Chain A
Amino acid sequence: MAVQTLVGAITSTLDQALAADKDIILLGEDIGVNGGVFRATDGLYAKHGEDRVVSTPLDETGIMGTAIGLAIAGMKSIPEIQFEGFLGPAYDQLVNHAARMRTRTRGAVTVPMTVRVPVGGGIHAPELHSDSPESIYVHSPGVKVVMPCTPYDAKGLLNSAIADPDPVIFFEPKRVYRTFKEEVPDEHYTIPIGEAKVVSEGEDLTLVTWGATVFQALEAIDNLPEDVSVELIDLRSIYPFDMDTIAESVRKTGRCVIAHEAPLTCGMGAEISARVMEECFLHLEAPVQRVAGFDTIMPYYKLENDYLPEAPRILQGIKECLAY
């Protein structure tokens, strides 16, 4: 059992995966000798060799397209896109090829690929380094989308993603890469894709969130009066997502707040809200509330905390929902 950060858990999981399966290949910008801009592949090049931890040309389209080809040929490719803002050039490959391949060949050609992508804001990064595009890919049938926010979950979900026979986007909330450590078992384990985690149990309101916002949610809950109990759900898997856990909770609490960094409109909060209305209609005591990023461009870092659903805004949303 080692005490690790989230990024440390990712590194050690990749290390174990490379050691266990000769067909695994990592490719991306600066991931080799430099260990990646966030050091997520630190030391893997030296240990596993330059032909398995490959620094590619600066070309997201090429990384995604060749990762698809590698996977079609039966390898397990794990491309890294340096920041979520640079998924744009790779979008066509990911959505028009990887996501469609199994269904358009009725299973004859498949793309078992795990796309690692640092995601989200809060680290004073340059423009286009702080977005939260997860719902774009949820709206693209054929891929799976996960976003763990703890070292333990990162290892379990990364192992599941690597073993998955379909393309999985593995979003890594960069704001919590190094904020805390926890014990992570040395041995291989998995967390099934599609299972949410109840972080804390409660009776009065269900708070659903994921990624770095989980920690803003915990801070908001800490600032509630002691007689209010909130059930906090970390979604972890964005698609497929665990509606059963959410619905069970909302049927118990009667109130639901959803918080995410991505823009409000057509964000995952909209989908979850619709599903809560469908599945918990007679149990709802208040309209579902969404605390989200605004429908604006994610601002450069002087104003990023005004954009993000930070703890005070989540706290306000909880209080308003409880007061309804």
Chain B
Amino acid sequence: MPHHTVFEAKIEHLQILDENGNLDKKLAKDTLNNDQVLYLYEQMRVCRALDDIAFKLQRSGRMGTYPQNKGQEANAVGSALAMTKGNDWIVPSYRENAALFMHGMPMHMVIQYWMGDERGSQFPADLNMTPLSVPIGTHMLHAVGIAWSMKQRKEADRAVITYFGDGATSEGDFHNAMNFASVMQVPTIFYCQNNSWAISLPFEKQMNSATVAQKAIAYDMPTIRVDGNDIFAVYKATQDARKRAIEGGGPSFIEGVTYRLADHTTADDASRYRDPKELDEWIERDPLIRTRKYMESVGIWDDKKQEELDTRAEKIVKEVIEAAISVPAPNKSDFFDYMYAELPEDLRKQRDTMRTTSIGQNPSQIGLKAQPQNA
């Protein structure tokens, strides 16, 4: 057989809860129970409220650039629930706030971070998380390294999930991470939030592939495309991937098809490049709307409960913002103090004097007394 097929591939798509709130009961078996659905809905609602208030804070000049999560929350909550809090690791990008909150990140710290204060990434001890990653697509390698340590130390029942967008899959480091994970067969779950846009560049101009999920085929990685606005499908795919990971089956890839209902960040204006009709179509597929429809259809939700949740969410985020704002300003020396475990002498001089000139650092050279600058 001189000419024959040596490899064939296909990509499967999973949707369990459709846009109208109809659940495929057969596929939903062993996924989310009603209590979990209520919990995830609340997480999404609070995250949405936080986005809204963060947007207002930025517009009123009280916060810097902020990337809204709006429309993508089901990816974060469904996948985070399938991971084990305090045991598994999360290696985030910056559009999966709810996953961080569900795994123990105090909410006000994310706001503190976007308010320009790195102490927002000074996680409490034992939080298995890396900080939000600003450069695109370079953090997935850390997830592979962390998962590698689990394999090396024979820590069964542990896995790592890393989040990134469709845009990140154009970066070289994405492919570096996929290949390393595949070669080393480490327990990493690659979760791509395909929101259709890399800032202003639409999916079809980012890649000539029909799906992101198929990129994993080159690395012989189990891969699936799911409806990313469907908490059941997201949960199921992540649950399967985690099971495979802890049983020694290596890494998996999940493409959650979703949509960024907001601008890329508060510094962006999507109306410059995005057809409003497209946005309108996706507003109808909002994960909160369909989850609510489902909850109402099975009799676990009504308008009164929604009102109570709306009120609760407003209260929570108000307290979160107050907590973030009331954090005392950092010491001037804060940006020196953690450069190294032990500060080198020249940095100590810079910190203590807040001067870089040698005379400024040692005014006795011109007969002046040194004045402590650091407070």
Which residues in A have some Cβ–Cβ distance to B below 8 Å? 25, 51, 56-57, 59, 61-62, 64-75, 77, 89, 92-93, 96-97, 101-110, 141-142, 144, 164-166, 194, 239-240, 243-244, 278-279
Contacts and interface: CB of A to CB of B under 8 A. Distances in A.
B141 A66 contact: yes
B128 to A, nearest CB: 9
A61 B135 CA distance: 14
18 contacts: A25-B152, A57-B179, A59-B179, A61-B176, A65-B144, A68-B141, A69-B144, A69-B146, A73-B145, A75-B152, A77-B145, A97-B138, A103-B335, A105-B338, A108-B125, A240-B345, A240-B347, A279-B358
Contacts of B341: 102, 110, 164-166
B278 interface: no
B121 to A, nearest CB: 5
Given A72-B142, A103-B338, A165-B341, A240 B346 contact: yes
Given A70-B145, A93-B141, A108 B135 contact: no
Which of B145, B335, B339 is packed against the most chain A CB atoms within 10 Å?
B145
Contacts of A73: 89, 145-146, 149-150
Nearest to A274: B358
A282 B194 CA distance: 64
Nearest to B173: A61
Interface in B98-150: 118-119, 121-123, 125, 127, 130-131, 135, 138-150
A110 B122 CA distance: 11
B268 interface: no
Given A106-B334, A106-B338, A70 B122 contact: no
Contacts of B338: 102-103, 105-107
B23 to A, nearest CB: 38
B370 interface: no
Contacts of B177: 62, 65
Nearest to A143: B340
Nearest to A25: B152
A97 B142 contact: yes
Contacts of A166: 340-341
B176 A70 contact: no
Which of A96, A106, A165 is packed against the most chain B CB atoms within 10 Å?
A106
Interface in B315-344: 334-335, 337-341, 344
A108 B184 CA distance: 27
Which of A64, A96, A103, A194 is packed against the most chain B CB atoms within 10 Å?
A103
B64 to A, nearest CB: 15
A62 B180 contact: yes
Interface string B177-219: 1011001100000000000000000000000000000000000
B152 A96 contact: no
B279 to A, nearest CB: 33
A109 B145 contact: no
Contacts of A142: 339-340
A222 B127 CA distance: 59
Given A66-B142, A108-B121, A240-B347, 17 more contacts: A56-B183, A59-B176, A65-B145, A68-B142, A71-B145, A93-B141, A96-B138, A103-B118, A103-B339, A104-B121, A105-B123, A106-B119, A106-B334, A106-B337, A108-B131, A109-B123, A109-B131
Contacts of B135: 92, 96-97
Given A72-B145, A109-B131, A62 B176 contact: yes
Contacts of B358: 278-279
B172 interface: yes
A69 B152 contact: no
B172 to A, nearest CB: 6
B145 A69 contact: yes
Contacts of B172: 61, 89
A166 B339 CA distance: 9
A111 to B, nearest CB: 9
A68 B131 CA distance: 13
Given A108-B121, A108-B123, A70 B146 contact: yes
Nearest to A62: B176
Contacts of B179: 57, 59, 62
Contacts of A279: 358
A70 B144 CA distance: 8
